[in-house]
Amino acid sequence: MSYSIPPPPAQPPTVHRRGVGRRLAAVPRPVLISGVAFLALVSAGVTGYLLMGDGIAEGTTVQGVDIGGLSAQEAREKLERELGALGGTPLTVVIGEGADEGADADSPEADVHELAPAEAGLSLDFEATVAQAADPSLLDRLLGRGGGEIELLVHQDEERGRAALTELAEDSDSTVREGAITFAEGEPEVTQPRAGVALDVEGSLGRLREGFPAAAGDAAQPVPLPVTRAEPLTGPAEIERALEEFAEPAVSGPVLLTAGERTLTISPELIGDHLTLSADGSGALLPEFDGAALGSDERLDAAVAAVETEPVEATLRLEGGEVVAASPGSVGSTVSREAIGPAVEPLLFATGEAARTAPVATEEVEPTISPANYKDLGIVEEMSSFTVNFDAAPYRITNIGRAAELINGSVVAPGDEWSFNRTVGERTEENGFVEGIIILDDQYTTAQGGGVSAVATTMFNAMFFAGVKPVEYGAHSFYIERYPEGREATVAWGSLDLRFLNDSGNTIYILASSTDTSVTITFLGTKRYDEVRSETGPRTNVKEPGSREGAQGDECVPQPPLEGFDVEVTRIFVNGGAEAGRETYNTTYVPRDEVVCED
């Protein structure tokens, strides 16, 4: 067996190394000195940085407040103490015309508002401000830089700011306004066009942040907020054209509408109140006339009434127990309110009286009672008639005659109510009444319209025996001998009326007439009952009168005594000879004291 012996490993080559000293020795001496100095400076800066901790460089200020040399906590407390009020000062902002050009709050076009910083999501961030001042870069430290004015940092809650600006936009946004022409008291009034303005909410967030707190409380330098604008289409030339062609001619004079021989005058004021000129989609001003509103305007009522003619009712009378027409009556005419607008519209922009005059449609008004229809209405017979006699006296003759005149010819449709006060009206001199004796506070005195109670009593009895339903009535306070006891009535303007309901099923026509000593009222229609009877019971609860002196002078009216009493009256309805029903009326009369006048 044989072995092979390997050769010994090769030796590594010899390497010659140069020491640090040799390398430094190779560096030029000036460079070597500068490097050593730089390393010393770095070492000193690092040492100073570590030793300074959170201290703030000398000469550091925020909004003029010196915080140099203070710790972070001391600086924060000082800033909060001296600048904290700035954070609550309202922020003045301006929106609209000239906002982007810095319009001031006194500009007439400016839309100025105040925002509370907290509501707008703005607050002063003293902690971040101090951190900024207490944390200069290492290089600034090494180079000895530090101090000076530091920016006061602001925190903004964008969500709250956006909400506040959105609410502000709702109050301040305006749509574009085109020019328009309206009228006041018959004169054109121009509404000038105006650009539309909408607040740019997103763009305003940064403006709020930038303007806070420097502009806070400074009304002379409000924060301008950006807007978007839309320009109107209507220009000055179009307004001038509309004034000349439409507005000025429309109110140049009244419009005259003829109705037969009468003329209805429509004043420029009324025309203007129902006419406007508004811009269309191209900016042209076009007239808009509301003829329907003009026709129904209540200010025309008197003028329309003046050109209308009332229908004249046919008059009826009894002749041999039969109802006949005493006069034919006549139709009336009324202006159609719906026709007024269409009649005015073609004349609106004409000038001159002739060009502004035209006829207006009228409608005939038939009388309620005519010779051709009264029988169809059921006015075929006498239902009842009653007469009251009285002692002749000038005031009675006048007042009773005037009341009978106003009542005569009254027509009461089935289901309608008749009213004495509404028919006769207030008893005034202008209405044809004079002063006479009345009863007031249970004694005679004088007042306008004295004596008409005789007419009221006559009407009550005609109603009673016609069998229709009384709605309101009242007897005199004490009994008057010429009237049937328990079946009489009085009236007083504003406090007591005499009213009845026509429940007969047919129209009732009322005849009323008077002489110097009597008044008679007759109901014509169709009898509901064959007969209406009256039964008067005995006087009960009788009370004796007293005696007293009357007022001094001419106001005293002597009064004879009469006992007071209660009485019951029964109305009995008869059909076919048999009783069909009855009603009871109870009346209480107070004693009529004797009144003695000195003279």
> Is the CB of residue 530 less than 8 Å from the CB of residue 479?
no
pLDDT value, residue 319: 93
pLDDT at 358: 96
Identity of the amino acid at 14: T
**In the structure encoding, which two tokens stand for residue 203, read together?**
């763009």
pLDDT band at 110 (very low <50, low <70, confident <90, very high): low
Strand bridging mode 381-389 / 518-525 = antiparallel
The 8-class DSSP code of residue 117 comes to T
Predicted confidence at residue 43, as pLDDT, reads: 47
Strand, helix or coil for residue 320: coil
Residue 592, C-beta contacts closer than 8 angstroms, at least 6 positions apart: 442, 478, 479, 545, 559, 560, 561, 562, 563, 564
| pLDDT band, very low/low/confident/very high, at 63 (cuts 50, 70, 90) | confident
| DSSP class per residue in 9-76 | PPPPPP--PPPHHHHHHHS-HHHHHHHHHHHHHHHHHHHHHHHHTT---TTEEETTEE-TT--HHHHH
Q: What is the pLDDT of residue 127?
A: 87
Q: How far is CA 121 from the centre of its chain?
A: 39
Q: What is the DSSP string of 428-493?
A: -TTTT--EEEEEETTEEEEEETTTTHHHHHHHHHHHHHHTPEEEE----SS--TTSPTTS----BT
How confident is residue 458, by pLDDT bands cut at 50, 70 and 90?
A: very high
Non-local (6+) Cβ contacts of 36 within 8 A are: none
Token pair for residue 147?
């101090």
pLDDT for 502 equals 98
Backbone angles phi, psi at 330, to 5 degrees: -160, 155
Pairwise pLDDT comparison (170 vs 333), residue with the higher score: 333
Per-residue pLDDT, averaged over 490-514, amounts to 95
Which amino acid is present at 363?
E
- pLDDT tens across 153-192, in order? 888 899 998 999 898 888 877 778 888 999 999 999 999 8
Answer whether residue 102 shows pLDDT above 50: no
Candidate from 119-133, 364-378, 395-409, 477-491 with smallest mean pLDDT? 119-133
Q: Which residues on neighbouring strands pair with residue 448, listed in sequence order?
A: 435
Rounded Cα distance, 437 and 456, in Å: 15
DSSP class per residue in 167-194: HHHHHH-B--B--EEEEETTEEEEE--B
pLDDT of the residue at 277: 92
pLDDT at 85: 83
Residue 423 confidence class, pLDDT cut points 50, 70, 90: very high
* Model pLDDT, residue 548: 78
For the cut 50, the answer to whether the pLDDT of residue 103 exceeds it is no
The predicted structure's pLDDT at residue 268: 96
pLDDT at 142 over 60: no
What six digits make up the tokens of 68?
A: 């140099």
pLDDT at 136: 59
Smallest CA-to-CA distance from 124 within 165, 81, 167, 162 is with 81
CB 119 within 8 A of CB 113: no
CB-based contacts of 19, cutoff 8 Å, min separation 6: none
Q: What is the mean pLDDT of the chain?
A: 84
In this prediction, residues 555-570 reach a mean pLDDT of 88
Of 42-46, 123-127, 376-380, 482-486, which range is least confident? 42-46
Provide mean pLDDT across the span 530-538: 97
pLDDT at site 197: 82
Asked whether the predicted pLDDT for residue 34 surpasses 70, the reply is no
Can you spell out the DSSP letters for 377-445? Answer: TT--EEEEEEEEE----HHHHHHHHHHHHHHTTEEE-TT-EEEHHHHH----TTTT--EEEEEETTEEE
* pLDDT beyond 80 at 27: no
Q: Which of 17-26, 345-354, 514-523 has the lowest mean pLDDT?
A: 17-26
Q: How many helices (H) and strands (E) does the chain have?
A: 16, 36
pLDDT(440) > 80: no
Secondary element (H or E) of residue 543: strand 540-543
